[in-house]
Structure 1
Amino acid sequence: MALLTYLHRFNQRHPWSHNDHYGPWIAGRVAASKAHHVLDIGCGAGNLAALLRRRAVTVTGLEPDPGMARAAAKRFADDPAVTIVEADFTGRDPHRRFDAITLVAVLHHLPLVPTLQELRSCLAPGGRLVIVGCYREAGRADLLISLLAALLNPVMGLVKHPARAAALPLHMTAPTTAPQETMKDIRAAAAQELPGARIRRRLFWRYSLVYDAPAGHSPA
C-alpha cells in the first residue's frame, strides 16, 4: 500500500494523459482512411480534435461536460471547420453520417452493445471507427500488463512532464468511471456488431479498436 500511495503522489506531481498519448496514433488511423468529416465523441477540451483538424475538412466534437465543452468551443472559436456541441452521444444529429468517428475513454460510460450498433449506423459507407477504450482487468495477462504499465507510468511522467505540477491540467479533470466490461466482453460485442474489427490490448490500461464499414454499407 505504501508503494501504491507513493506512486499515486508521484503521478500527481508529474501528470500526463494516457488518452493524449494515443492521440497521434488515432489521428493517423483517421488520416489513413482519407476521412473528410469526423465526429469526435467525448472531445473533452479538444486535444484530439486539434490533431484531427490537421487531417480532416471538418471536425464535430460532442462533449457533455459544460466546462470542457466551453473550453473546447473557445479553443476553436476562430475555426469554422470545428464545431463543438455540448451534448453526449444521444445529442448528435441523428441524420448525419461521418467518414470517421473517434472515441477515447468514452465507450465504457455507455451501454456497450447498443452503442456499437448506433456507432455503426453513424458511419458513412467505407467509414472508419477508431476507439481507444478502458476495460476491466480479469486474468493473468491483464495483471501482467497492468503491472508493467504501473512501473512505466512514472517514467513517462518524468519524460512528458518533468517539472512538478501544482494541479492537474484541465483536460485531465473530466469525470471518470470504472469500466465494467472485460476484454473478452468487448471482443464478443465487437464480433457481433462490428465484424472484422481489429482489437488490441495496449499499455496504460487501454485497448484499441478499428472498424471499417463496408464500402456499400447501409446503416441498420
Structure 2
Amino acid sequence: MSRPTEVLLQALRPWLRLVEQHPWSHNDIYARWITSQARRIRTPRPRSALDIGCGTGNLVARLAGVVDQVTGLEPDPEASRIAAERSAADPRVRILPVGFDDRPDGEWDLITMVAVLHHLPLAATLTAVRSMIKPGGRLVVVGLARETRADVPWSAVSVLLNPLLGLILHPKADGAMPVGMTAPAREPRETLDEIRRVAGRILPGVRIRRGLFFRYTLVWQA
C-alpha cells in the first residue's frame, strides 16, 4: 500500500467508523424503486408477485400495497419465521420457508430478487425465471457483482455516502445490525460485464445499470 493511500485511509477512518456505529440495509434503499417498477406492470388484475429470497419480509410488505397477492420464498429459518409473523394478518401475503429450487409452480406478474441472484447459478436461474413471468410481467433484480476497475468510481462514492445514510436511517449509534441483514451472505462470482452477457442472451431487451451501494439493477419485461 502506498504512503498516500495510507494517509487517505487514516484520514477517513473516523468517518468510516460511523458505518459500524450506524449500520443500515443497502437492499432496503432500493425498495421504493422496486415498487415503482411494479406499478408499471399492465397485466390484467388480479396481479401476483413472487419475491425470491424475501428475507424478513421488508419488500413483501411494500409489494402487498401494490399488487393483489405476494408470495415470499426464504430458506433461512429465522428470516422466514420473522417474515411470516409480520405478515400473518395480511391475507394478500404468504411466506414459504423454501429456496428457489423448491419454489411452487405457477406464473407471476412480477418476480423480484434482491441480493439473491449471486447465490444461484446465473444462467439456469434466469432461464427458469423467464418461463415463470406472465406476458407483460416484469423481472426486477437488485444484484451484486464482483468488482472490477470500472466499478471503482461507483464504489468510492458509495463508501463516502455510506456513513451519511447510516446517520439518517439508523441515527442511534448502537451498532445494532438490522434484522434483515443477519441472513447468510456470499461474495458475488460474476462481474457486471459477465452478467450483462448472460442476461442479454437469455432475456432479450433486458436493462442493466450500475447502482450505488455496491448494487446493480436489472429489469426485463416479458
User: Which residue in 2 is equivalent to 1:175?
Assistant: 184
- Matched residue SS, 1:196: coil
User: Which residue in 2 is equivalent to 1:66?
Assistant: 77
Structure 1 unaligned segments of length 5 or more: list them: 214-220
Deviation string for 1:171-204 (max 9, x for gaps)? 1111111001001001001110001011100111
User: Which residue in 1 is equivalent to 2:3?
Assistant: none
Q: 1:176 to 1:199 in 2, by over 3 A?
A: same
CA distance in 2, matches of 1:51, 1:135: 25
How far the C-alpha of 1:9 sits from its partner, in A, is 3.8
How far the C-alpha of 1:31 sits from its partner, in A, is 1.5
Answering whether residue 165 of structure 2 is matched by residue 153 of structure 1, we say no
Query: Quick one: which amino acid aligns to residue 182 of structure 2?
Result: T
How far the C-alpha of 1:98 sits from its partner, in A, is 0.3
Structure 2 unaligned segments of length 5 or more: list them: 1-5
* Counterpart mapping for 1:12-23 below 5 A: 12-23=20-31
1:112 paired residue among 100, 103, 122: 122
How far the C-alpha of 1:42 sits from its partner, in A, is 0.4
CA distance in 2, matches of 1:110, 1:53: 25
Query: Quick one: which amino acid aligns to residue 138 of structure 1?
Result: T
Query: Quick one: which amino acid aligns to residue 50 of structure 1?
Result: A
User: Which residue in 2 is equivalent to 1:81?
Assistant: 92
CA distance in 2, matches of 1:125, 1:144: 37
- Matched residue SS, 1:18: coil
Q: Which has the larger radius of gyration?
A: 2
User: Which residue in 1 is equivalent to 2:146?
Assistant: 136
* Counterpart mapping for 1:175-194 below 5 A: 175-194=184-203
CA distance in 2, matches of 1:99, 1:7: 43
Deviation string for 1:14-70 (max 9, x for gaps)? 111110000010011011114610000000010000110000100000001000000
User: Which residue in 2 is equivalent to 1:195?
Assistant: 204
Query: Quick one: which amino acid aligns to residue 107 of structure 2?
Result: R
How far the C-alpha of 1:7 sits from its partner, in A, is 5.5
CA distance in 2, matches of 1:85, 1:12: 32
How far the C-alpha of 1:165 sits from its partner, in A, is 2.4
- Matched residue SS, 2:131: helix
Q: What is the root-mean-square deviation in Å for CA atoms of aligned residues?
A: 1.5
2:133 paired residue among 117, 120, 123: 123
CA distance in 1, matches of 2:103, 2:16: 37
How far the C-alpha of 1:124 sits from its partner, in A, is 1.1
Q: What TM-score do the two structures reach when normalised by structure 1? A: 0.91
Answering whether residue 38 of structure 2 is matched by residue 30 of structure 1, we say yes
- Matched residue SS, 1:22: helix
How far the C-alpha of 1:108 sits from its partner, in A, is 0.2
Q: What TM-score do the two structures reach when normalised by structure 2? A: 0.91
Query: Quick one: which amino acid aligns to residue 83 of structure 2?
Result: A
Percentage identity across aligned positions?
A: 50
- Matched residue SS, 2:78: helix
